[in-house]
Structure 1
Amino acid sequence: MAPRANWKGFLRLSLVTCPVALYPATSESEKISFNQLNRQTGHRIKYLKVDADTGDEVPNEDIVKGYALDKDNFIEVSKEELENIALESTRTIEIDEFVDRSEIDPRYLIRPYYLRPDGKVGHDAFAVIRETIRDMNKVAIGRVVLTNREHIIALEPLSKGLVGNLLRYPYEVRSEQEYFDEIQDVKVTKDMLDLAKHIVNQKAGRFEPGKFEDHYETALVDLINSKRAGKPITPKERPRGTNVVDLMEALRRSAGEERAPAMATKKPRKASSGQKEMLMPIEGKKPKKEAAAKKPSGRQRKSA
């Protein structure tokens, strides 16, 4: 099935325009998720939209947006009124400026999207914009409206397409001063710095996301498999932190360890779609290439 676009419109650089589509570049659909259940019956919990005063359920057509002036006073805003203030960026990503990638503070990054031509026309214009950004080694800054809000988007070439990162506005980023002001000014000696650098060099590597393992996700799969198989659940012993008394001695001992980093020595478990590590597929998580196991008849509830 072809991916579904989150947004469709036009990408424009001055007078050069092309139709484009925006797609989410990340997904968490493969992660284990839970439903809330009634402990007494095992039934799923259902949420209703109710009037806070009367307790009556309110149908969707009677629900409007409201801005709270105070606890009990609201200004109602209709869908039509919101559409009337629609900005040009609702349908067009206008490139406003080009900046160096190093100038973008990572705190402003929200989430990435893929941008590609929409349909069979406009590929030439798209390629011109993409290769101009690539050749100048810049990031294109534009604006786009998603979920009824205008966002700043930073566009960079990626293979034959563009990757766009939504950026936060300054008022959304907290100042570091309120968190860092109480950090003590500590003089780090050259010996300590040399030992710490030696530890860093021992652990030096390349950024390879394929080596990363979601240990919590793996533990969840093991937990669910054990419960489905009726095995007893025994809590694992939590690692104990060591009390560092002498920082210099701790650095010396760390630098003397010759074992390679854990990620390099331990063969990572290869992630697969549909949770193929499961003994049996979880309800709602259908494996893409494996036949679903036959479900037991009737409702079964197992607990540790």
Structure 2
Amino acid sequence: MAPRANWKGFLRLSLVTCPVALYPATSESEKISFNQLNRQTGHRIKYVKVDAETGDEVTNEDIVKGYELEKGQYIEVSKEELEEIALESTRTIEIDEFVDRSDIDPRYLIRPYYIRPDGKVGHDAFAVIRETIREMNKVAIGRVVLTNREHIVALEPMDKGLVGTLLRYPYEVRSEAEYFDDIQDVKVTKDMLDLARHIVNQKAGRFAPEKFEDHYETALIDLINEKRAGKVIRPKERPKGENVVDLMEALRRSVGKEVGKQAAPAKADKPAKKPRKAAAGQKEMLMPIAGKKAAARETSAKKPAAGARRKSA
């Protein structure tokens, strides 16, 4: 089942309007997550909202937003007052301009969303807007309100739909001068560049996300499975880094290392299979932890009762 839309409204290019829905294009729900437990009892930790001065628990109905002017001095703002300043673009993505993709500094990118027609009407208008952006090879810049905040959104065609990427405002991007001004001006010799280029050429390829494994996630799965099986967890020996002072020597060694990899592709392929096997078992193990009922029932049928009790703790 497709996820629920984060936002529904209208996409408008001048007088051309169509109803659309906006969905998150990424998810981290498949990653392992942990609960905090009381070490003594094994019970989950529960957080409550309390008054910082009295220590009394406060209900949601009695909680209001406040802006801190000075230490301990706040300006209260009610929900009704926030609704009064709601922006007109709350229900409409208005396309303001078209720009080249290369004009958008990657520091301004926040997160992507899928945009598609909402319902059975408006597909023709949606297609006109989508194909216009595609034909012009441009990025459409508009505005959208999510969680009461107005965001800049960059719209690009993808297959039969659109991808809308939220953008930061200039005041949200820090100046690089704060971090780069103290970097020393170093003259890189031609020999160093030639060796570095050789390494780059040896590693050249095309970006394919499916090639990359989340090694930390795989290690977490192995850790939990080992503890589940009652194995003793012993610390592993960490590889020691080499202290190479001579930069040219380091570059030469790197070139030799990459040439060696090219000469033995069969050996390089074998270790890659292990993470894929771990990832294949990830779903079976993750679902009970994430609380997905169907998978939990399936897993509990396969596991002994003691294992099920330990998991719920």
TM (normalized to structure 2)?
0.90
Task: Kindly indicate whether residue 148 of structure 2 is the aligned counterpart of residue 160 of structure 1.
Answer: no
Q: 1:259: how far off?
A: 3.5
Q: 1:192: how far off?
A: 0.4
Q: 1:282: how far off?
A: 3.1
> In 1, are the aligned partners of 2:108 and 2:173 still within 8 Å (CA)?
yes
Q: Which of 264, 287, 298 is the equivalent residue of 1:291?
A: 298
Deviating above 4 A after TM superposition, structure 1's stretches of 4 or more consecutive aligned residues are: 261-264, 270-274, 285-290
Map of 1:66 onto structure 2: 66
Note the alpha carbon deviations across 1:155-206, whole angstroms, 9 max, x for none. 0000000001100011100011111111110000001000000000111111
Q: Distance in 1 between matches of 2:286 and 2:66?
A: 48
Q: Which of 263, 269, 279 is the equivalent residue of 2:276?
A: 269
> In 2, are the aligned partners of 1:42 and 1:301 still within 8 Å (CA)?
no
> In 2, are the aligned partners of 1:221 and 1:277 still within 8 Å (CA)?
no
Task: Identify if the C-alpha distance between structure 1 residues 165 and 278 changes in structure 2 by more than 3 Å, giving closer, same or farther.
Answer: same
Q: Distance in 2 between matches of 1:23 and 1:193?
A: 45
Q: Distance in 2 between matches of 1:36 and 1:176?
A: 38
Task: Kindly indicate whether residue 235 of structure 2 is the aligned counterpart of residue 235 of structure 1.
Answer: yes
Q: Which of 292, 300, 303 is the equivalent residue of 2:310?
A: 300
Task: Identify if the C-alpha distance between structure 1 residues 290 and 160 changes in structure 2 by more than 3 Å, giving closer, same or farther.
Answer: farther
Task: Kindly indicate whether residue 220 of structure 2 is the aligned counterpart of residue 220 of structure 1.
Answer: yes
Q: Distance in 1 between matches of 2:64 and 2:161?
A: 39
> In 2, are the aligned partners of 1:152 and 1:167 still within 8 Å (CA)?
yes
Q: Distance in 2 between matches of 1:132 and 1:46?
A: 52
Map of 2:149 onto structure 1: 149
| SS state at 2:133 partner | helix
For 1:176, the aligned partner's letter is: E
Note the alpha carbon deviations across 1:45-78, whole angstroms, 9 max, x for none. 0000111111111111111111111111111111
> In 1, are the aligned partners of 2:99 and 2:139 still within 8 Å (CA)?
yes
Task: Identify if the C-alpha distance between structure 1 residues 271 and 288 changes in structure 2 by more than 3 Å, giving closer, same or farther.
Answer: farther
Note the alpha carbon deviations across 1:99-135, whole angstroms, 9 max, x for none. 0000101100000000000000000000000000000
Task: Identify if the C-alpha distance between structure 1 residues 106 and 279 changes in structure 2 by more than 3 Å, giving closer, same or farther.
Answer: closer
> In 1, are the aligned partners of 2:139 and 2:154 still within 8 Å (CA)?
yes
Q: 1:23: how far off?
A: 0.3
Task: Kindly indicate whether residue 88 of structure 2 is the aligned counterpart of residue 93 of structure 1.
Answer: no
Note the alpha carbon deviations across 1:254-281, whole angstroms, 9 max, x for none. 1122243899733451686882364994
Unaligned ranges ≥5, structure 1: none
Number of aligned positions between the proteins: 303
For 1:284, the aligned partner's letter is: G
| SS state at 1:222 partner | helix
Q: Distance in 1 between matches of 2:253 and 2:128?
A: 56
Unaligned ranges ≥5, structure 2: none
Q: 1:249: how far off?
A: 1.1
Q: Spell out the pairing of 1:186-225 with structure 2 (5 A cutoff).
A: 186-225=186-225
TM (normalized to structure 1)?
0.93
For 2:282, the aligned partner's letter is: Q
Map of 1:23 onto structure 2: 23
Stretch moving more, 270-279 or 86-95 = 270-279
> In 2, are the aligned partners of 1:66 and 1:76 still within 8 Å (CA)?
yes
For 1:229, the aligned partner's letter is: A
Task: Identify if the C-alpha distance between structure 1 residues 41 and 158 changes in structure 2 by more than 3 Å, giving closer, same or farther.
Answer: same
Q: Among the aligned pairs, what percent are the same residue?
A: 82
| SS state at 2:114 partner | strand
For 1:300, the aligned partner's letter is: R
Q: Distance in 2 between matches of 1:25 and 1:301?
A: 31
Q: Distance in 1 between matches of 2:293 and 2:120?
A: 34
Map of 1:133 onto structure 2: 133
Q: What is the CA RMSD across the aligned residues, in angstroms? A: 2.6
Task: Identify if the C-alpha distance between structure 1 residues 283 and 231 changes in structure 2 by more than 3 Å, giving closer, same or farther.
Answer: farther
